[in-house]
């Protein structure tokens, strides 16, 4: 198993401590008594504590047992969630790591958050869990209230309806379906126009005109999921796509910005203009016409690739000009991580996207929309048994309440500015180790490139930090919304130890 091989290669904590003692730091991996714990969660450790190699002996036993019944080859580390708290993930050996990966950007307000625990123990949650409804057929009497006080309470501007789903891939795939049905309905002459007999019969043969010849336009290096339809728009890593039949769908070049941004303004503006020109060419000329364009505000799995607000305003203008829908994939960027609740709020769009998909930190999934014509003209066209999960919607409502009660989006913006400026200093001090630092003004949604990225991530665990990568060489930071300045200081110390060791 990869995880066991990696663990066997790790040096002992005593060696890591000796290495650390030779570095320009006064504090070691174990927390000092002067460090403050979380302002938001009681019981959080004052700092990381690394007691064994990772994985340690207890973890190795659990991993071996798990591997008998579950594929563990992608395992990063084994966790004990009964002991994890706040910003810290704890393993069975008692190692407590500052977690700035957060279940691939999916934990919003900390492990074992008491507000979420209270929601989980509520009679409303118990009812939702043990009487899970088939929402399309048998929604509960309070489903509208649950939506309005949670998911729709934080709906993006101009979008007042939601289709709930199960995961990010599901959210995007159902948004694709909505786009295709919207386009064909418009071409057919409106929602009142009935399907022809030819359409009905040919659809059962997977042939036109019933099976439409339409596509979704995405971007190179994009990631939109691993389901059958979303894989045809995912272009981040070959391993995601190998052996899976794919649709003949177009992809444009996402702008490849150069950093620092202020030193490459003309080049970056040209790269964005070229990308928009390619998008327009594909919309007008691709052999399978796009019904929608899907884009991430920041290409996350593909390497944390950014573009300017002007680029996205141009994309919105192009889609409106050519009657193509714009789907913004906020699965990873949404729910506060960029210093705004939705990352596309940074763009100052003159009018909203047509659909915004969400999951991860929301702990539920789906897509928002505003145009009533995005509802299919007949029932059962956009349908499945569950159509979401009321239990997860109740949890998201508690998350929203916690975010608003502590003003955590503002906290993330504030801490992100501090973290970015501090990383700039590290970049100056250690040339080549924090290359292409990006994410300024984007909360804690920050990344940089490292020439030995995979080794960098392994070393970080020795110094008490769980961190993730993306693309070929990016180190991506995905802290929780309760990540504070003193957590940033702990992270910065650990990152310097990694590059200096």
What positions carry a catalytic annotation?
223, 329, 360, 385
- Scored b (16 or more CB within 10 A) or e, 186-211 reads eebeeeeeeeeeebeeeeeeeeeebe
Which residues, at least 6 apart from 273, have a Cβ–Cβ distance to it below 8 Å? none
Cα(437)–Cα(431) distance, integer angstroms: 12
Q: How far lies 158's CA from each of 154, 204, 303, 349, in Å?
A: 11, 37, 30, 11
Asked whether 258 and 267 are in contact (CB, 8 A), the reply is: yes
Cα(269)–Cα(267) distance, integer angstroms: 5
> Beta-carbon neighbour count of residue 27 at 10 Å?
14
The string of DSSP codes covering 403-430 is: HHHHTHHHHHHHHHHHHHHHHHHHHHHS
Q: What are phi and psi of 181, to 5 degrees?
A: -65, -40
Cα(279)–Cα(298) distance, integer angstroms: 17
């Amino acid at each position: 198993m990869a995880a066991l091989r990696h663990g066997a290669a790790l040096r002992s904590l005593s060696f890591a401590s000796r290495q650390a003692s030779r570095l320009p730091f006064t504090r070691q991996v174990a927390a000092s008594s002067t460090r403050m714990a979380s302002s938001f969660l009681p019981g959080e450790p004052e700092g990381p504590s690394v007691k064994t190699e990772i994985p340690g002996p207890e973890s190795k036993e659990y991993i071996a047992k798990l591997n008998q019944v579950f594929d563990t080859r992608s395992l990063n580390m084994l966790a004990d969630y009964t002991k994890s708290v706040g910003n810290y993930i704890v393993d069975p050996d008692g190692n407590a790591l500052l977690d700035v990966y957060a279940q691939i950007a999916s934990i919003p307000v900390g492990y074992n958050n008491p507000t979420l625990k209270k929601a989980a123990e509520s009679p409303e949650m118990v009812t939702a869990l043990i009487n899970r409804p088939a929402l399309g057929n048998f929604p509960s009497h309070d489903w509208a209230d649950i939506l309005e006080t949670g998911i729709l309470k934080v709906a993006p501007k101009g979008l007042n309806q939601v289709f709930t789903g199960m995961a990010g891939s599901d959210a995007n795939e159902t948004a694709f379906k909505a786009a295709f049905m919207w386009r064909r309905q418009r071409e057919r002459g409106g929602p009142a126009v009935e399907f022809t007999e030819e359409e009905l019969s040919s659809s059962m043969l997977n042939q036109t005109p019933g099976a439409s010849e339409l596509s979704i336009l995405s971007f190179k290096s994009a990631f939109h999921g691993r389901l059958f339809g979303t894989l045809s728009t995912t272009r981040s890593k070959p391993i995601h796509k190998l052996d899976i039949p794919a649709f003949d769908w177009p992809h444009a070049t996402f702008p490849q910005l150069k950093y620092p941004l202020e030193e490459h303004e003309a080049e970056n503006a040209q790269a964005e203009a070229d990308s928009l020109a390619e998008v327009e060419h594909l919309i007008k000329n691709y052999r399978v016409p796009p019904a929608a364009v899907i884009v991430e505000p920041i290409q996350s799995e593909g390497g944390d690739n950014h573009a300017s607000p002007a680029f996205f305003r141009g994309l919105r203008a192009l889609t409106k000009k050519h009657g193509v829908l714009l789907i913004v994939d906020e699965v990873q960027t949404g729910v506060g991580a960029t210093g705004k609740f939705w990352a596309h709020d940074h763009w100052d769009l003159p009018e909203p996207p047509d659909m915004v998909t969400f999951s991860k930190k929301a702990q539920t999934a789906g897509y928002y929309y505003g145009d009533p014509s995005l509802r299919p003209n007949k029932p059962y066209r956009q349908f499945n048994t569950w159509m979401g999960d009321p239990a997860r919607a109740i949890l998201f409502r508690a998350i929203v309440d916690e975010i608003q009660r502590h003003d955590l989006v503002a906290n993330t913006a504030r801490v992100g500015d501090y973290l970015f400026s501090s990383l700039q200093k590290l970049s100056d001090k250690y040339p080549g180790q924090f290359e292409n630092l990006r994410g300024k003004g984007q909360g804690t949604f920050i990344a940089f490139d490292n020439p030995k990225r995979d080794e960098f991530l392994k070393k970080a665990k020795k110094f008490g930090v769980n961190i993730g990568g993306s693309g070929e060489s990016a180190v991506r930071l995905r802290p929780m919304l309760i990540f504070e300045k003193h957590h940033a200081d702990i992270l910065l110390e650990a990152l310097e130890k990694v590059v200096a060791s």
